[in-house]
């Protein structure tokens, strides 16, 4: 009988990349923020080599961009980027739905309801960092539940881009009603509980289209005021 699973070696490059990726997802690094290698090496206690390797990896994931003689910056997204991100997101979410709609059980529904309740609590507390984190956790749970390696890998690459774009929405679309996400998640959960794949696909398309449009409006509003996001 196998008692232990093998320990996965995680390189310094991957650890540094995960730290930067998480900072983008949580809004601690915002679009156009300068990523200073020297500051990262000091804060993380590593040499410049894994930092540079991590930045190359994140550039491949389209999360950062490098500029000659200027360094690396958190990527700023344009309207075409937003359309590409949300069209990919809806495809991944609908694929996950196909995999798991008949597999979810009582424990899964309980956990998803917990996440919705937590998100609503954070909205009431105006803790928007936790609102974003719990929102992402809801969708991450559904993706992970499919246990499909390529799905999870593709989702991991896009989720930080989604998070970064949502912070742009917060800058340029100040009237966004956070409670809409609660309603969206409840409708998604109801479709799963009813085993209604077509309704679930339609909800995923509707939600992603609305959020895409809100993010585009935010980008347009930011452009009008000179391209400078609020801090």
Q: Report the CATH number that the domain containing residue 213 is assigned in CATH.
A: 1.20.120.530
What pLDDT score was predicted for residue 23? 85
Same domain, 64 and 87: no
Q: How many whole angstroms from its chain centre is CA 175?
A: 21
Same domain, 120 and 170: yes
Burial 136-169 (b: 16+ CB within 10 A, else e): bbbbbebbebbebeebbebbebbbbbbbbbbbbb
- pTM of the complete model: 0.81
pLDDT > 90: percent of the chain: 51
226: confidence class by pLDDT, cuts 50, 70, 90: low
Query: What does the mean pLDDT of the chain come to?
Result: 87
Q: Each residue of 171-185: pLDDT tens digit? A: 666 677 889 999 999
The more confidently predicted of residues 90 and 219 is: 90
The more confidently predicted of residues 121 and 130 is: 121
Domain with 159, as residue range(s), is 79-224
What pLDDT score was predicted for residue 94? 98
What pLDDT score was predicted for residue 156? 85
Same domain, 140 and 51: no
User: Which whole number is the average pLDDT over 157-170?
Assistant: 82
Evaluate if residue 228 carries a pLDDT over 70: no
Same domain, 109 and 190: yes
Evaluate if residue 93 carries a pLDDT over 50: yes
Q: What is the three-class DSSP state of 206?
A: helix
User: Which whole number is the average pLDDT over 155-180?
Assistant: 80
Evaluate if residue 8 carries a pLDDT over 70: no
What pLDDT score was predicted for residue 21? 86
Q: Where are the beta strands (DSSP E) in the chain?
A: 34-35, 64-67, 71-74
Total tally of structural domains belonging to the chain: 2
CB 172: neighbour CB atoms within 10 A? 21
Same domain, 55 and 139: no
Cα torsion angle, 68, 71, 75, 78, sign: negative
Residue finishing a domain among 58, 74, 90: 74
What does the alpha-carbon distance between residue 58 and residue 156 come to, in Å, rounded to a whole number?
12
What pLDDT score was predicted for residue 4? 46
DSSP secondary structure, 188-204, as one string: HHHHHHTT-HHHHHHHH
């Amino acid at each position: 009988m196998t008692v232990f699973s093998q320990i996965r070696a995680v390189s310094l490059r991957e650890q540094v990349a995960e730290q930067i990726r998480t900072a983008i997802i949580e809004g601690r690094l915002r679009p156009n923020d300068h990523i200073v290698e020297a500051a990262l090496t000091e804060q993380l206690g590593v040499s410049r080599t894994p930092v540079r390797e991590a930045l190359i990896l994140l550039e491949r994931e389209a999360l950062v961009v490098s500029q000659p003689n200027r360094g690396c910056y958190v990527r700023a997204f344009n309207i075409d980027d937003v359309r590409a991100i949300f069209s990919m997101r809806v495809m991944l979410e609908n694929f996950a739905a196909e995999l798991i709609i008949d597999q979810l059980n009582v424990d899964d529904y309980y956990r998803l309801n917990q996440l919705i309740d937590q998100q609503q609590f954070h909205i009431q507390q105006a803790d928007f960092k936790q609102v974003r984190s719990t929102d992402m956790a809801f969708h991450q749970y559904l993706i992970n539940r499919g246990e499909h390696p390529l799905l999870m890998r593709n989702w991991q690459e896009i989720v930080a881009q989604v998070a970064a774009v949502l912070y742009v929405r917060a800058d340029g679309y100040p009237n966004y009603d956070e409670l809409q996400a609660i309603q969206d998640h409840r409708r998604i959960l109801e479709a799963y509980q009813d085993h209604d794949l077509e309704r679930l696909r339609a909800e995923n398309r509707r939600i992603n289209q609305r959020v895409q449009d809100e993010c585009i409006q935010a980008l347009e509003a930011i452009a009008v005021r000179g391209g400078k996001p609020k801090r």
